[in-house]
Amino acid sequence: MNIENKVAVITGTKRIGSAIGKVLAGKGADVVLTYNRSKEQAEDAAREIRQKRRKAMALQADVSRPADIQVLVDHVNQELGRIHILINMASIYGSKPFDEITEEDWDANMSINLKSAFLCAKAVVPGMKAEGGGRIINFTDWIAASGRPRYKGYLPYYVSKVGVIGLTEILALELASLNILVNAIAPGPILAPPDLSSEEDLEVRKATPLGRWGGENEIAKVVLNLIETDFITGECIRVDGGRHVS
C-alpha cells in the first residue's frame, strides 16, 4: 500500500504512538491520534503533523466502548474520509501479585488491551472494504510473542496480550479476501520509563543482546513496512533487541 494521501488512525498515542503518527505524516498520510487521558501529548503531535502540511486530529475516545469508537469513526469519515490504516496501540500495563488481582483488574486488561482492538477493527473494516483494502496493525508484547511468561505479577496483562496475537491471526484469515492485511508488533525494550532507576536501566541493557534501548523509530520502521507490504499478513514481529533469545 502506498501511504501517501491515506488516512491513519492510531489509538493510544502516548510516547511511541505520537512518534509513529509523525513518521506516517512524513510519508504523506493524514493522521488521527486518539487518546483517553494524554490530551496534551496527542494535541502537540497533531500540531507537529499539521506543520508537515498534512491533516491531523487529536480525538478523545474510550476505545473499550463501542459507542465511543463509532462516534470516532463517523467523525473521521466526515472530516478526512475513509480510514485506510488502523494502528491499535491503546494499552494498560501494571504489576500485581496473583492473590491481589481482582475481577476489575482482569476486565480492565481484557477491555483495553484486547477488546478495543477487536472493536476498532470491526468499526473500520466496512470503510476499508469500500476502499479496496487496508492495513490493521495490533500491538502485543515481546514476552507474549515468546510463547511463555517470564515474570510473575502480570497475569491479566500477559493473557490479554497473548489474545492480541490470536486476534491478529484470525483477523488476517477473515479479512484476507478483502485485501485487508492484519499484523502485530511485539515491542521489547524500546523506551525507558521516566521513573526507571540507573540500576534498573543497566539491568535491562544487560538482558538485551544488543545492549541498548531501541527507541521509538525502530517501531515506526516496522509499522511502515507492514503498511507498505502487500504480502505479509497474520504475522507477529518482535522488536526487542534480541531479548527473546537471551
Active site residues: 157
* In contact, 20 and 87? CB cutoff 8 Å: yes
- Give residues with Cβ within 8 angstroms of 99, minimum separation 6: none
DSSP symbols for 93-105: -----GGG--HHH
Distance set, CA 115 to CA 58, 66, 85, 118, 205 (Å) = 22, 10, 18, 5, 33
Distance set, CA 110 to CA 122, 181, 188, 244 (Å) = 17, 23, 20, 24
Burial 12-21 (b: 16+ CB within 10 A, else e): bbbbbbbbbb
- Our separate counts of H helices and E strands in the chain read 9, 7
Rg value, the chain, Cα: 17
Q: Give the number of other Cβ atoms within 10 Å of residue 101's Cβ.
A: 15
Angstrom distance (rounded) from CA 161 to CA 191: 19
Amino acid in position 95: S
Angstrom distance (rounded) from CA 211 to CA 31: 33
